[in-house]
Structure 1
Amino acid sequence: MNDELALISREKLPDALQVLLAEYPREGWEKDPGFDGLIRFWLDRHLMFRRLMKEMSGATDLLLDRKMAPDQFGATLSRYGGMFVNGLHEHHTIEDTYYFPKLIHKDKRISKGFDILDADHHALDEFLASFVTSANGVLQATGDRAKLQDQGGVFQTELTRLEKLLNRHLVDEEELIVPVILRYGSRELG
């Protein structure tokens, strides 16, 4: 895959992969008769990941501003961080092994988009590993406030980077997959 399509540098999906999005723009998704429970569930999962990122970012801001106690921050980060990492791994595994193989054949014009999304999942695995390392660093520093502040700053930088990349991936995934399902249905997807 060329560098301009890589998650770290991509600003949007190539126009050639947005042909179904042009027919099924985001603004009309919820009004479409094909907007069913599967699409709602899937988009809710994406919303959950965005909310977890926001919760962790907000808690880290409070920690860095010394408006949250270290033990409260540790509990918050452990809870939301675990939900985020485990949920995202599970979500991507289901997509890669079940949904993408079924959707890739629906419309040849956008099949390359699934290669991009798969590459995103692999790239995100690396960023998630870095996120976990950074989260563990801040959690291990909760007994030393000065070290905690330093590690909190490192973690906030990592979190901001991951949030940007994850959002790029989620938007592109939504704009590729929802139009496919709206056009071809979800009956065989379960």
Structure 2
Amino acid sequence: MDKTDLDTRKGLPDALRVLLETYPRDGWTRDPGFDGLIRFWLDRHMMFRRLMAEMETGTELLLDRKTAPDAFARQLSRYGGMFVNGLHEHHTIEDAHYFPRLRAKDKRIDRGFDILDADHHALDGHLNAFADTANATLRQLDDRDRLQSQAGAFRDRLSDMARLLNRHLIDEEELIVPVILKFGSADLGG
């Protein structure tokens, strides 16, 4: 089993955390290099986490029969669409623009960008399954018993997606933010 696989990984390999040792997470915001690009990047990551949390809360409310199916459908359609479209766009920009430039800055962490790229491909499959499960749930709005059952499956999919996404985002942050803090963001468009 590949220890860098998103489904099983507990964190980045130690060899890729070399810059994180010099630029630990708890000091990022105090670093003079903590600029608009880093802030924007971390804000995007927080937005994805918040969207997941909102969908998890909405699904639990539906399962507990504390929200109406139509209110759940509106929320899921809105937040689910924002989540899927936003994450696809975010990963596309990273793969095409940021990762190639960041990769060249420090060859010691080159393998980390291969891992993040593999994560993006793995997450695409999970995003497709997420969308399929969300749509299957929305198709059951007129049958409360079936809706409850399908919403349970959707909750499980959300939980798995949140776990995988969080692992990816943490690892991405801990690889990329130290690179930007060390080398700056002038050539990144930030």
TM-score of the aligned structures, taking structure 2 as reference length: 0.99
Q: 1:48 corresponds to which residue?
A: 47
Aligned partner letter, 1:31: R
Amino acid at match of 1:5: T
How do residues 1-190 of structure 1 correspond to structure 2 at under 5 angstroms?
A: 3-190=2-189
After TM superposition, what 4+ stretches of structure 1 lie above 3 angstroms from structure 2?
Answer: none
The letter for the 2-side match of 1:114 is F
What's the secondary structure of 2:66's corresponding residue?
A: coil
- The separation in 2 between residues aligned to 1:124 and 1:76, in whole angstroms, is 22
SS of alignment partner, residue 3 of structure 1: coil
Q: Which structure 1 segments of 5+ residues have no match?
A: none
How many angstroms does 1:40 deviate by?
Answer: 0.2
Percent of paired sites with the same residue? 67
Shift of 1:88: 0.1
Structure 2: distance between partners of 1:46 and 1:59: 20
Alpha-carbon distance, 1:78 to partner = 0.1
> Gapped runs of 5+ residues in structure 2?
none
TM-score, normalising length from structure 1? 0.99
CA deviations over 1:141-175 (Å, ceiling 9, x no partner)? 01110010000000000000000000000000000
CA distance in 2, matches of 1:81, 1:141: 17
For each residue in 1:15-46, what CA deviation from the matched residue of structure 2 results, as whole angstroms up to 9, or x when unmatched?
00000000000000000000000000000000
